[in-house]
């Protein structure tokens, strides 16, 4: 596949960071919420969307980007923030809505923002399209190298704004990549119930841009396809719609059990991508059992330290609530 062993180990490590973090956040989320499932309660109040199962998309895409590039995403952001190298302590503190968080706890899990690595996300489905294409336009007008990438769901691309932006991005040959995470569901609505064609990447022909679909939820294949898309963007050939098959293993939001997903789809597509990737890296000699085990131990320790830190951290002082408010 031509991907350096070092890059593959980095992708494995970032996938584990996201996965092990969520393995700690999931029980934390349910603290104090049950039995009534009161969303206001516990250390993680509100709604959370786990990235669990979708880690290959973020690491594959971010593995081909540099610091000059820009990455945005939506309401399911943990894997993308981690693949983009957002500071782990500040990320986790933000998820816990604490004062050391990226935005001093004002954003929370769905509004992570870190200008130091050109990363942001939004709870509004498809919101990122316009601003991210705007970043691509700025990069082009300034004759800079940066490519702007947004990672959004297959449900999002049925929003009207998506079509407007794709048309403009293609017309102006912007250095823009729209990565579509095809986890086959927008909340409880299956792709075949919401979308007229099987692959959103085929919509590329309507805009005169490149389109590619990647099967298998496979970090190596995603990295290769993302590499092609970013190369086209940097060379001035305009945007790509890169749709990637992935697996929403923990339901739409915390508490959803995927019970409405038919067994045939669950068994065929909702498969954990991490064990097979580990096995491949061992088979190819990129990892040994010993180096894999020591990496896994270190990642577990790092996420535990970040969660312990966030739990002990303070909330922003009440008197700061009106700071940085526009009106
Ligand atoms: C504009 C807008 N409409 C509706 C919602 C409620 N909502 C949150 S996530 C979601 C589904 C998104 O599905 P998809 O884009 O496929 O992303 P996924 O959750 O599968 O990652 C909806 C409808 C929203 N946040 N914003
Ligand atoms: Mg979806």
Is 151 close to ligand 1, i.e. is its CB under 6 Å away?
Answer: no
20: pLDDT strictly greater than 60:
yes
Mean pLDDT to the nearest integer, 250-279:
96
pLDDT for 312 = 98
State which ligand 1 atom lies nearest to the alpha carbon of 123: 25
Tell me the CA–centroid distance for residue 322 and ligand 2, in Å: 35
Q: Is 170 in the pocket of ligand 1 (CB under 6 A)?
A: no
Residue 148 — very low, low, confident or very high, per pLDDT cuts 50/70/90?
very high
**In this prediction, what percent of the chain has a pLDDT beyond 90?**
97
CB atoms inside a 10 Å sphere around CB 117: 17
Residue 317: CA count within 13 A, CB half-sphere: 3
What's the CA gap between 238 and 256, in Å, rounded?
38
> Which protein residue has the closest C-alpha to ligand 1 atom 20?
186
Mean pLDDT of the region 174-189: 98
User: Which of 155, 182, 193, 217 is the pocket-test mutation for ligand 1 (most atoms within 8 Å of CB)?
Assistant: 155
Position 326 pLDDT exceeds 90: no
Tens digits of per-residue pLDDT, 61-84? 999 999 999 999 999 999 999 999
For residue 158, pLDDT over 60 is answered with yes
pLDDT of 1 > 60? The answer is no
**What's the pLDDT tens digit per position in 182-223?**
999 999 999 999 999 999 999 999 999 999 999 999 999 999
> How high is the pLDDT of residue 60?
98
187 Cα: distance to centroid of ligand 1 (angstroms): 7
Q: What is the mean pLDDT of the chain?
A: 97
| C-alpha 211 to ligand 2 mean position (Å) | 18
Output the pLDDT for position 327: 79
Evaluated on CA atoms 141, 142, 145, 146, the torsion sign reads: negative
Q: What is the predicted pLDDT for the residue at 2?
A: 85
Q: Is the CB of 183 under 6 A from ligand 1?
A: yes
pLDDT tier at 325, thresholds 50, 70, 90? confident
Q: Using CA positions, which residue lies closest to atom 18 of ligand 1?
A: 153
| Dist CA 255 CA 44 (whole Å) | 13
Q: Closest residue (by CA) to atom 21 of ligand 1?
A: 153
Angle 209-219-28 from CA coordinates, rounded to 5°: 115
SS (H, E, C) the chain: CCCCHHHHHHHHHHHHHHHHHHHHHHHHHHCCCCCCCCCCCCCCCCCCCCCCCCHHHHHHHHCCCCCCCEEEECCCCHHHHHHCCCCHHHHHHHHCCCCCCCCCCCCCCCCCEEHHHCEEECCCCCCCHHHHHHHHHHHHHCCCCCCEEEEEECCHHHCHHHHHHHHHHHHCCCCEEEEEEECCEECCEEHHHHCCCCCHHHHHHHHCCEEEEECCCCHHHHHHHHHHHHHHHHCCCCCEEEEEECCCCCCCCCCCCCCCCCHHHHHHHCCCHHHHHHHHHHHCCCCCHHHHHHHHHHHHHHHHHHHHHHHHCCCCCHHHCCCCCCC
Residue 301 has pLDDT above 60, yes or no: yes
Q: Average the pLDDT over 9-35 and give the result.
A: 97
Q: Are the C-beta atoms of residues 97 and 40 closer than 8 Å to each other?
A: no
């Amino acid at each position: 596949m031509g991907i350096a062993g070092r890059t593959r180990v980095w992708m494995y490590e970032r996938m584990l960071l996201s996965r092990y973090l969520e393995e700690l956040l999931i029980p934390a989320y349910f603290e104090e919420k049950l039995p009534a499932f009161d969303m206001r309660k516990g250390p993680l109040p509100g709604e959370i969307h786990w990235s669990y199962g979708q880690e290959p998309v973020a690491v594959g895409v971010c593995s081909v980007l540099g610091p000059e590039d820009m990455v945005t995403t939506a309401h399911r952001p943990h894997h993308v923030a981690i693949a983009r190298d957002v500071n782990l302590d500040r990320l986790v503190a933000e998820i816990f809505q604490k004062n050391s968080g990226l935005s001093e706890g004002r954003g929370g899990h769905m509004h992570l923002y870190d200008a130091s690595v050109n990363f942001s996300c939004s709870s509004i489905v498809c919101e990122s399209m316009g601003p991210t294409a705007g970043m691509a336009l700025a990069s082009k007008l300034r004759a800079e190298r940066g490519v702007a990438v947004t990672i959004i769901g297959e449900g999002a691309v049925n929003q009207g704004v998506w079509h407007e932006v794709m048309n403009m991005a293609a017309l102006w040959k912007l250095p823009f990549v729209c990565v579509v995470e095809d986890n086959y569901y927008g909340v409880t609505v299956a792709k075949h119930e919401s979308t007229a064609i099987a692959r959103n990447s085929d919509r590329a022909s309507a805009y005169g841009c490149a389109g590619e679909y990647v099967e298998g939820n496979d970090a190596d294949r995603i990295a290769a396809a993302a590499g092609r898309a970013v190369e086209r963007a940097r060379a001035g050939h305009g945007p790509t719609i890169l749709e990637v098959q992935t697996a929403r293993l923990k339901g739409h939001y915390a508490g959803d059990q995927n019970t409405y997903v038919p067994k045939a789809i669950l068994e065929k597509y909702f498969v954990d991508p991490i064990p097979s990737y580990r096995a491949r890296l061992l088979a190819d000699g990129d990892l040994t059992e010993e180096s894999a085990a020591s990496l896994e131990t270190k990642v577990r320790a790092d996420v535990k330290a970040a969660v312990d830190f966030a739990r002990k951290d303070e909330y922003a002082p009440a008197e700061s609530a009106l700071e940085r408010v526009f009106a």
